[in-house]
Amino acid sequence: MSERVTIVGGGLAGSEAAWQIAERGFGVDLYEMRPVRGTDAHRTERLAELVCSNSFRNASLETAVGCLKEEMRRLGSLVLAVADRTTVPAGACLAVDRNLFAEGVTRAVIEHPNVRLHRRELEAIPDGVAILATGPLTSPALSSALERFFGEAHLYFYDAIAPIVASDSIDMTIAYKASRYGKGGDDYVNCPMTRDEYYAFVDAVLAAEKVPAKQFERTVYFEGCMPIEEMARRGRDTLAFGPMRPVGLIDPRTGARPFAVVQLRQDDVEGRLFNMVGFQTKMTYPEQRRVFRMIPGLAAAEFVRLGSLHRNTFVDSPNVLMPTLQLRAARTTFLAGQIIGVEGYVESAAAGLLAGINAARLLAGAPLVSPPATTALGSLLAYVTQRGRRDFQPMNANYGLFPPLAGRARGREKKLQLAERALADFDRWSIAGGLASTARRRPERSPADVLPAASS
């Protein structure tokens, strides 16, 4: 068996997998088709480019994704190491400067002596030990190859990207800085709306021209990236109870809670760019400029990036994938990232981490591993790979996937107990499998050695 692993896709999952394999002493051939072939969402040729939000979501153990981050850190995750070094203010969330983050991951991967980066498209499933981490934007040629391999059509859904606004174009005599209930300081810019302004905005969103879906594609949206017009179509008050909910925010001009609020989150270290939180959309570009400038404080907004719509591809993982992330029908081929039906940056990177570990263990002749279902990663993989599941749809990490506790704890206390159990079980599992020591067996080298310096 070759001592090298072929990885297809240089996103979060592929980059994390490449790092894990290389750190374990095996060679990696990483194939990334950009810039030779672009995608509908990427703008650069960097590895691990964040195409939607710049947020890795909540950072506390009160959430399963916060617990998942801690599990990844304990296995020496490159993605989390770079994210922790490139943070921007985001209240209780871990958000990053998207450019510094991608630069950091790219530099770490391409400068690793065991990694070779190839800038070209692969149109077939590679021979030997391989990881397919092509993400939701798998190229048509490779999608066709996978479709032929599985003998069935791919499942897919649409994903939408939120606009980014230049900070100096926001009218701060109307908008104001604050976080909900004062948590995290003044990390968000808030654009308050009265009742009349809100309903006029909703009517404009519903009436705006949209980018049409291709006739041969089925329109299924992941709930976490639902375009605002799709939410508004469910009812005129839906947005006010969703991304525009005003709870925990007081307008300093009136001393009262506004009827609705549009929040903007810092997108870069310098604070020059702000992302419109939860404002994924498929409105046409001219309509976005017109409708979004109706928002108080954004009348003269300069849109650095407008929202867009792209197709996300994922496979029927419960029927084709093992908990080790190997294909049931081809044990030397692993899948990782959003293509397996996990949703979110952290979840995608975590899948890449485990796929990388297992690919290296396969080469080393060691037993392959999968964390227990009581852990954040294990519970997610259990959901994704549970055989016989029907109507499979992508899933974020969440405590609802965890096995129940023995006691009757509720609310925050229950979540913290789930996290405590998860991390204890995760540590026992990683130590028993020799993972903790393996991830740290080269103390003279760590991800921080090749990352950009932290910003002041």
Say what the pLDDT of residue 202 is: 97
Q: Are residues 236 and 291 in the same domain?
A: yes
Q: Are residues 253 and 278 in the same domain?
A: yes
Q: Is residue 455 a part of any domain in this protein?
A: no
Say what the pLDDT of residue 121 is: 83
Q: 29: which 2 tokens?
A: 């051939």
Say what the pLDDT of residue 153 is: 53
Reading the chain (456 residues) residue by residue, the pLDDT tens digits are 568 999 999 999 999 999 999 999 999 999 998 766 656 556 778 999 998 789 999 999 999 999 999 999 999 999 999 999 999 999 889 999 999 999 999 999 999 999 999 998 887 889 999 999 987 667 777 777 777 777 665 556 666 778 999 998 999 999 999 988 877 678 899 999 999 999 999 999 999 999 886 544 445 666 667 899 999 999 999 999 999 999 999 999 999 999 999 999 998 888 888 999 999 998 999 999 999 999 999 999 999 888 887 667 788 888 889 999 999 989 999 999 988 988 889 999 999 999 999 999 999 999 999 999 999 999 999 989 988 776 677 788 989 889 889 888 888 899 999 999 999 999 999 999 999 744 443 333 444 554 544 443
Q: What are the angstrom distances between the C-alpha of 278 and each of 190, 287, 298, 346?
A: 13, 18, 16, 18
Q: Are residues 293 and 187 in the same domain?
A: yes
Q: Please say which residue of 261, 288, 311 terminates a domain.
A: 311
Q: Are residues 150 and 204 in the same domain?
A: no
Q: Is residue 456 a part of any domain in this protein?
A: no
Tokens 């949703």 sit on residue:
343
Q: Please say which residue of 285, 311, 337 terminates a domain.
A: 311
Count of structural domains within the chain: 2
Q: Is residue 243 a part of any domain in this protein?
A: yes
High-pLDDT (> 90) share of the chain, %:
63
Please give the model's pTM, rounded to 2 decimal places.
0.75
Biggest CA pair distance of the chain:
70
Q: Are residues 167 and 299 in the same domain?
A: yes
Q: Is residue 250 a part of any domain in this protein?
A: yes
Q: Are residues 398 and 431 in the same domain?
A: yes
Q: 310: which 2 tokens?
A: 């792209």
Q: Is residue 260 a part of any domain in this protein?
A: yes
Say what the pLDDT of residue 156 is: 63
The residue range of the domain holding 219 is 161-311
Q: Is residue 322 a part of any domain in this protein?
A: yes
Q: Are residues 335 and 426 in the same domain?
A: yes
Say what the pLDDT of residue 136 is: 66
Which residues contact residue 380 at a Cβ distance below 8 angstroms, ignoring those fewer than 6 apart? 68, 342, 347, 350, 395, 397, 401
CATH code where residue 208 lies: 2.40.30.260
Q: Is residue 90 a part of any domain in this protein?
A: yes
Which three-class secondary structure state does DSSP give residue 322? coil
Q: 218: which 2 tokens?
A: 């089925």
Nearest to 26 by CA among 51, 56, 2, 47: 2
Q: Are residues 242 and 123 in the same domain?
A: no
Q: Using CB atoms within 10 A of its CB, is residue 348 exposed (0-12), middle (13-18) or buried (19+)?
A: buried
Residue 261 C-alpha from the chain's centroid: 24
CATH code where residue 47 lies: 3.50.50.60
Q: Are residues 50 and 129 in the same domain?
A: yes
Q: Are residues 22 and 143 in the same domain?
A: yes
Q: Give the model confidence (pLDDT) of 315-331 as tens digits.
A: 888 888 999 999 998 99
Q: Please say which residue of 311, 343, 374 terminates a domain.
A: 311
Q: List, as one string, the DSSP characters of 170-236.
A: S-TTT-EE--GGGTTSS-EEEEEE-HHHHHHHHHHHHHS-BPPPPTTS---B-GGG--HHHHHHT-T
Q: Are residues 150 and 26 in the same domain?
A: yes
Q: Are residues 67 and 197 in the same domain?
A: no
Q: Is residue 337 a part of any domain in this protein?
A: yes
